[in-house]
């Protein structure tokens, strides 16, 4: 009798919040941050949302949809600088925020390629970049080429840094030992070594400044 459903005290039921695109994207970003792209499936995402896959498909059709939405969401955290008289400072501020967003979500840089970045957050920040470069004197193909160069530099930098930081101490030590053993073949690499720790930040800004130096010369032609 003690096992009868009528004798068991019912637990208070908590109503699940309504399933919205915002909730789906929030849980997707959390899942990607915890597990990576390889572990993101519609079934796992539905389980985190305490719903069924069929219900989830009413809001997003494919895993690619989820990835596009998640990418745009994280770029919403990138502050838009107030355009000032120094166009270089504006570009550095925007791209530093872009890099920080990708480093905070290590999966993002790897899935950017080949996806149409048409979400409102990415579009607003890309439009800002185009506006800053136009104010610097660039136009037409040169402006588009400059924007691609800057964006690709940031994405590539984030990819390299994420890969290097997965197991930084072991990887750095192993690379250093490899260069010591092969210093005759790679003298310049052996002399200057690899980036580690806070060196990444300084190297990123320095590389971006070098790129902007070149763009400044093009804009003056």
Q: Name the CATH code of domain 21-74 (choices 3.10.129.10, 3.40.50.970, 1.10.10.60, 3.30.413.10).
A: 1.10.10.60
* Residue 160 banded pLDDT, cuts 50, 70, 90: confident
For 171-186, write each residue's pLDDT tens digit.
Answer: 667 777 888 888 889 8
CATH fold, domain 79-219, is: Tetracycline Repressor; domain 2 (1.10.357)
Length of the chain, please? 221
The H-or-E segment that residue 75 falls in is helix 63-75
For 100-116, write each residue's pLDDT tens digit.
Answer: 999 999 999 888 877 77
* Residue 48 banded pLDDT, cuts 50, 70, 90: very high
What is the Cα–Cα distance from 207 to 81, expressed in whole angstroms? 20
Angle between helices 199-219 and 140-165 (to 10 degrees): 170
Q: What is the pLDDT of residue 19?
A: 87
Scanning the chain, the segments in alpha helix (DSSP H) are 21-35, 42-48, 53-57, 63-75, 87-104, 108-112, 120-135, 140-165, 168-181, 187-192, 199-219
Residue 43 in tokens: 């079934």
The H-or-E segment that residue 87 falls in is helix 87-104
Cβ atoms of 126 and 117 within 8 Å: the answer is yes
Is 60 exceeded by the pLDDT of residue 221?
Answer: no
Q: What is the pLDDT of residue 132?
A: 94
Task: Select the more confidently predicted residue: 207 or 14.
Answer: 207
Give one word for 167, left, alpha or beta, with left for phi > 0 and alpha for psi -120 to 50.
beta
- DSSP state at residue 13: P
What is the Cα–Cα distance from 124 to 116, expressed in whole angstroms? 14
* Residue 188 banded pLDDT, cuts 50, 70, 90: confident
Domain locations in the chain? 21-74, 79-219
């Amino acid at each position: 009798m003690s096992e009868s459903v009528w004798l068991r005290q019912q637990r208070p039921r908590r109503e699940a919040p309504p399933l919205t695109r915002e909730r789906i994207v929030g849980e997707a970003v959390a899942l990607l941050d915890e597990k990576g792209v390889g572990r993101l499936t519609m079934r796992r995402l539905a389980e985190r949302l305490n719903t069924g896959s069929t219900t989830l498909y009413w809001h997003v059709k494919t895993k690619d949809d989820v990835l596009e939405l998640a990418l745009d969401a994280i770029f919403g955290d990138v502050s838009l600088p107030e355009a000032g008289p120094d166009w270089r400072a504006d570009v550095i501020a925007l791209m530093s925020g872009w890099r920080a967003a990708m480093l905070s979500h290590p999966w993002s840089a790897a899935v950017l390629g080949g996806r149409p970045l048409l979400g409102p957050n990415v579009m607003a920040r890309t439009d800002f970049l185009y506006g800053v470069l136009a104010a610097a004197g660039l136009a037409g193909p040169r402006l588009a080429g400059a924007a691609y160069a800057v964006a690709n530099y940031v994405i590539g930098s984030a990819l390299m840094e994420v890969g290097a930081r997965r197991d930084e101490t072991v990887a750095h030590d192993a690379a250093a030992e490899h260069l010591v053993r092969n210093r005759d073949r790679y003298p310049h690499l052996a002399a200057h070594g690899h980036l580690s720790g806070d060196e990444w930040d300084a190297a990123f800004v320095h590389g971006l400044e070098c790129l902007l130096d070149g763009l400044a010369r093009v804009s003056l032609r």
